[in-house]
A and B are shown apart, each in its own frame.
Chain A
Amino acid sequence: MYKILFQLARTGRITERAPRPDETLRQAATPFGADLLRLLGRALAVRHVDAGSCNGCELEIHATNNPYYNLEGLGIKFVASPRHADLLLVTGPVSRNMEEALRRTYDAMPDPKLVVAIGDCGCDGGIFGENYASCGRVANVIPVNVAVPGCPPEPAAIIRGILTAVTAAARS
């Protein structure tokens, strides 16, 4: 036990400041009102679905919870069921074998809900594009609020995308 405590003390706190939202990533207005966002702050439940990625984006989503980025420290946590989720994080071009599973996951989420597409593939199909087995970008299958490019996008960019989705600035 003392070794664990010693290691914790030696590591200290290394969490960095969170990035700021970026309006250029927004595809559609957020359905949450400013009053609701003020009330709930950033207490946000996120469900991730990999709809056909190369798994590079998953590595960076994992990294958002490492001690440097500490996404959970902002009140944003990943949940195990779409029924608990406010926001859906989708990676990959949507493979046709995942199309229905992605739709069902989206439908299972309570309204109002947000979708953030992660990575070049999620934004425009990426290098895989559209073919007999790939539907291309996420927006071809479900509505997308924010799209974060990158191959893969770095953890700070993913967090920026999530924070952009939950700011009300561009509400129409």
Chain B
Amino acid sequence: MNALRTPPIDGLALEPIAGAVPAWRARCDAGSWLTAAAGVAQRGGRLAALWASDGRDAGQAFAVHAAFATYEGLLCLELPVPESKPVYPDLSLLYPCARRMQRAAFDLMGLEARDADGSRPDARGWLRHGAWRENLHPLRREIAAQARLDPDDADYAFILVEGEGVHEIAVGPVHAGTIEPGHFRFSVVGERVLRLEEHLGYKHKGIEKRFESLTLAEGARLAGRVSGDSTVAYAWAYAMALEGLAGTRPSPRALWLRALLLERERIANHLGDLGALGNDGGLAFGLAQFSRLKEDMLRLNARLFGHRYLMDRVVPGGIAVDLDAHAAEEILTECTRLRAELRSLRAIYYDHAGLQDRCITCGRLDPATAAELGVVGVAARASGHAIDLRACPGFAPYDQLETRIASHRNGDVAARIVVRFEEAFESIELQRRILRRLPQGALLAPVGEAPAGRWGVGWVEGWRGEVLVALQAGTDGRVRRCHPHDPSWQNWPALEHAVIGNIVPDFPLINKSFNLSYAGADL
């Protein structure tokens, strides 16, 4: 890794963004926006996030922002968009995953992505269902934080599949189990899925607007509740963004403890998923066993750190909890026990004919499709793409922990199970490494003043994938703009591809093998 190498993209004046991950920003015009995006794509880069901001109150225009993952680090482009003509060049031909992000940016800020011929790639609302009118854009400055907007018609035009014997199955938003709400429209022949179209946004609760009524310090708590299952990853990404803005350096001890908590979050979620996947595959024994192991871990979290899911433990400037020698010993004992339990259960899962029958070749996402869609996290690693921010660009302390990336090439449900097992084992090892070499030092560094108008970024490999937080400071220590970005934005469209040709009854299993966040992407 060479953190100082600049992404070689022509025609841009790159300015480094201070912080824990290598990142640059550049202002562009409509031309360089597209050529830079194409340059990144040519060099194997990915779109990490896209969002819009409103600078009119500061005498500027609107802007659309795109963050790209390159081999060197994160490249953030900013394109000013005038109020008189609120359009910008569409990125979805280069990056299909941009489509929903652009639709969300239109719903919230009213900026339109346009093709070369001037048309919009998809003019349907995404986050706006019927809660407000199409000509209102709630993230604009003139809409008050507590505003109640008039409702509108909530019709949504699904893409119709026609042909002999084709029928539709509509599922949701309320699902049959304890699951988050969303709508799935299947077009099927018999029980084979021809096409799945997702309609999400049901959980949209105005998180980005809410951020703007908070101070930078208060924002940490909200960031930790964007997607509750990834609270450590979000809190860390937010803290990283704010620390970069304010020039604060958390102590090595705080960073190592954050990594400990992040790995505990990863293990707990993987245990939950492995149990649920066994259950959906017809092995209820797996759910009972893995949910027991997960509960043991959550209880230790509660005892040692005061919260089962570790909410609000990672804070700007450092960490809110410490670990004494006795507590470290307890975690090491847990590691040993958990590793033995996982080995027994892995042997059962891998030998189980019923699970093999359900999982192998089911819900395949091939490596080419995964790359085209910009898939991240567990799903990418199970489809042949060894991408993991802990290894590359390798933010502290992972650059000192020799993190091994788990990966698999088959891209099926079985591959996503294997990757979870391997990552759980690796996270156990990482915990042991962290505890053996945990540096001494302060837990909290004072967070300095964040210059108004400046952007910071945080980018953390959560258990599901890359969590990105882009944060702009306002005056008086307030949040001016915050965009938290969940890996589910990239991975939801991949689920639509993975189910093609499978039978409807396998959908719950395939869906669970991705286990994407609705809350995280609905905001």
Chain A residues within CB distance 8 Å of chain B: 3-4, 7-8, 11, 14, 48-63, 65-68, 78, 80-82, 92-93, 95-98, 100-101, 105, 126-134, 151-152, 154
Q: A4-B348, A127-B222 are in contact. Are A59 and B228 (CB under 8 A)?
A: yes
A sample of 13 more A-B contacts (CB under 8 A), given A54-B228, A55-B180, A62-B178, is A3-B347, A3-B348, A7-B348, A11-B289, A48-B178, A54-B225, A56-B228, A66-B295, A92-B203, A95-B203, A133-B205, A151-B225, A152-B228
* Cα of A54 to Cα of B180 in the assembled complex, Å: 9
A58 smallest CB distance to B (angstroms)? 5
Would you call A128 and B205 a contact (CB within 8 A)? Answer: yes
B144 smallest CB distance to A (angstroms)? 9
* Cα of A14 to Cα of B345 in the assembled complex, Å: 18
Interface residues of B in 125-170 (CB under 8 A from A): 129-132, 138, 143, 145-149, 151, 154
List the B residue with the shortest CB-CB distance to A53: B519
Chain B residue numbers with a CB within 8 Å of A52 are 181, 202-203, 205, 519
Most chain A C-beta atoms within 10 Å of own C-beta, residue among B201, B272, B291? B291
Q: A61-B178, A62-B272 are in contact. Are A132 and B203 (CB under 8 A)?
A: no
Q: A14-B292, A67-B292, A133-B131 are in contact. Are A151 and B311 (CB under 8 A)?
A: yes
A82 smallest CB distance to B (angstroms)? 8
Chain B residue numbers with a CB within 8 Å of A56 are 225, 228-229, 231, 309, 311
Query: Which of the residues B147, B180, B205, B347 comes within 8 Å of A93, measured between beta carbons?
Result: B205
Q: Is chain B's binding surface mostly helix, strand, loop or mixed? A: loop
Chain A residue numbers with a CB within 8 Å of B146 are 129-131
* Cα of A60 to Cα of B309 in the assembled complex, Å: 10
Could you pull out 6 A-B pairs where Cβ atoms are within 8 angstroms? A54-B226, A82-B174, A97-B201, A130-B148, A131-B210, A151-B311
List the B residue with the shortest CB-CB distance to A108: B174
Q: A7-B344, A11-B289 are in contact. Are A134 and B311 (CB under 8 A)?
A: no
Chain A residue numbers with a CB within 8 Å of B124 are none
Would you call A105 and B291 a contact (CB within 8 A)? Answer: no
* Cα of A68 to Cα of B308 in the assembled complex, Å: 15
Residues 192-226 of chain B, each 1 if its beta carbon lies under 8 Å from chain A, else 0 = 00000000011111110110000000000110011
Would you call A128 and B206 a contact (CB within 8 A)? Answer: yes
Chain A residue numbers with a CB within 8 Å of B176 are 80-81
Determine whether B325 belongs to the interface, using a CB cutoff of 8 Å to chain A.
no
Most chain B C-beta atoms within 10 Å of own C-beta, residue among A95, A101, A133? A133
Determine whether B351 belongs to the interface, using a CB cutoff of 8 Å to chain A.
yes
Q: How many A-B residue pairs have CB under 8 A?
A: 161
Would you call B129 and A63 a contact (CB within 8 A)? Answer: no
What bracket does the count of chain B residues touching chain A fall in? 35 or more
Would you call A152 and B309 a contact (CB within 8 A)? Answer: yes
Determine whether B30 belongs to the interface, using a CB cutoff of 8 Å to chain A.
no
Determine whether B59 belongs to the interface, using a CB cutoff of 8 Å to chain A.
no
Interface residues of B in 330-345 (CB under 8 A from A): 344-345
Chain B residue numbers with a CB within 8 Å of A65 are 291
Chain B residue numbers with a CB within 8 Å of A151 are 225, 311
Chain A residue numbers with a CB within 8 Å of B151 are 96
Determine whether B179 belongs to the interface, using a CB cutoff of 8 Å to chain A.
yes
Interface residues of B in 465-523 (CB under 8 A from A): 517-519, 522
Query: Which of the residues B148, B225, B309 comes within 8 Å of A59, measured between beta carbons?
Result: B309
Chain B residue numbers with a CB within 8 Å of A97 are 129-131, 201-204
Chain B residue numbers with a CB within 8 Å of A50 are 178-181, 203
Q: A7-B345, A95-B202 are in contact. Are A55 and B519 (CB under 8 A)?
A: yes
Chain B residue numbers with a CB within 8 Å of A63 are 291, 294-295, 298
Chain A residue numbers with a CB within 8 Å of B518 are 55
A132 smallest CB distance to B (angstroms)? 5
List the A residue with the shortest CB-CB distance to B226: A54
List the B residue with the shortest CB-CB distance to A120: B225
List the B residue with the shortest CB-CB distance to A56: B228
Most chain A C-beta atoms within 10 Å of own C-beta, residue among B203, B206, B221, B347? B203
Determine whether B123 belongs to the interface, using a CB cutoff of 8 Å to chain A.
no
Query: Which of the residues A92, A127, A131 comes within 8 Å of B147, measured between beta carbons?
Result: A131
Would you call B229 and A59 a contact (CB within 8 A)? Answer: yes
Would you call B173 and A98 a contact (CB within 8 A)? Answer: yes
Would you call A101 and B202 a contact (CB within 8 A)? Answer: yes
Determine whether B70 belongs to the interface, using a CB cutoff of 8 Å to chain A.
no
